[in-house]
Amino acid sequence: MTTKHPLTTRILHWVTAILTIGLFFSGWYMVDLDYYSQWYQTLPESHFLAGTILLLLWAWVLFKLFYGNRPNFPQPHKKIERIASRWVKRLFYLLISIMVITGYLMATADGETLVIFEKIKLPAFSQFSAQQVDTMGWVHEYVSYAIMALVVLHIAGALKHHFIDKDDTLKRMT
């Protein structure tokens, strides 16, 4: 029988994955919207809401990383696979943290509280210049591409373990 990750870990993993991929594609689509598009108002607000949810989930993930118990699974993998896995995870932690922080700062860059769907209010931490917002936008965009490259690498690794190595790596997270 396969020893699975705790249920909360699995839920956080899959919700984070869905939000991350959804946010990438909504952001990619959103930047080309014009004023007359039916998505012009709702998609950015949905993107901000999903990003805020990801921010909160990611805060929990980072808390668990530093203060949680990690299950000890057998390590039948090659040393290079363990090293690659460790670095992919570290890059995910770093890049998703950068994404949610830059997204939040850009959304509140005018120094005003961001209101989502007339109900959720997100306070601004500071006010930023247009040049600072452009830099954050550039970082936000290119970090999103790096995250998607890691997602592809992560999926490829999971499929390799499942179909080629025929081990329980993927099953532990489902």
pTM of the shown model: 0.89
| pLDDT tens digits, one per residue of 10-19 | 999 999 999 9
**pLDDT tens by residue, 17-50:** 999 999 999 999 998 888 898 888 889 999 999 9
Q: At what angle do helices 79-107 and 42-67 cross, to 10 degrees?
A: 130
